[in-house]
Amino acid sequence: FLPHLVASMEQVDETYIMVKPDGVQRGLVGEIISRFEKKGFKLTGLKLFQCPKELAEEHYKDLKAKPFFPGLIDYITSGPVVCMAWEGVGVVASARKLIGSTDPLKAEPGTIRGDLAVQTGRNVVHGSDSPENGKREIGLWFEEGELCQWTPAQAPWLRE
C-alpha cells in the first residue's frame, strides 16, 4: 500500500458547463465563470456560441418527450451561450453542487441558481450530470482543437 500514489490515482473528470442565453443577456458570464475558477477547477475550453437547433436537440435528447422540450430548445437557441469545459477530481458532482437545484427557488443560497435565478425555465446555467455525460457533452459542443491541455501554476497549492 503506497499512500503517496493514491492521490495521483484519483480519477480526473471533465464536465460541460454552459451559461445559458439568460445568463449572457443578464451580464452574469463573469460571475458564473468565477464560481468555478475560484473553487479551483481547471478551465480547458471556453467560447461564446450561437447554438443551432439541431445541437440543442441532441444535447437535451433525453428530455424530448417532456412538454417543456420545445420551449427549452427555443430558450437555449434564443441568443449566444458561453460553452465551457472544466476538469478536476470530482468536478462533475462538485459543479452540480455549485450550480444548485434545477428549480432556482429550491436551490440553496450560495449556489449559482440559488443566488442568481428565480425560475426553472430561466435557470442561467447547465452542468453535466455524470462523468460520462461530461465527456459526451464536451464532444458535442467543442471541436478537438478548441480544447487546451495545460498545467495551472496554482496546481501544487490546490492538491497535495
Strands (E), the chain: 12-19, 42-49, 81-89, 125-127
Q: Residue 141 to residues 58, 63, 69, 133: CA-CA distances in angstroms?
A: 10, 18, 19, 12
According to CB under 6 A, which one of 19, 72, 81, 83 is a site residue for ligand GDP?
72
Identity of the residue, 35 or 59, whose beta carbon is nearer to Mg ion in the bound complex: 59
Sign of CA dihedral 139, 142, 145, 151: negative
Q: Which residue has the cell 471556453?
A: 46
Identity of the residue, 130 or 154, whose beta carbon is nearer to Mg ion in the bound complex: 130
Instruction: Given the residues 23, 126, 128, 134, select the one marked as catalytic.
Output: 126
- Least Cα distance to 69 among 50, 83, 53 occurs for 53
Pick one of Mg ion, ligand GDP, none as the site partner of residue 102 (Cβ within 5 to 8 A by kind): ligand GDP
Q: Least distance (Å) from ligand GDP to the CB of residue 11?
A: 21
Q: What is the x/- site pattern for ligand GDP, positions 73-112, by CB under 6 A?
A: -----------------------------x----------
CA dist., res. 30 & res. 39, Å (int): 14
Identity of the residue, 45 or 100, whose beta carbon is nearer to ligand GDP in the bound complex: 100
Judged by the rule CB under 5 A, the positions of this chain that interact with Mg ion are 129
Q: Report the catalytic residues.
A: 126
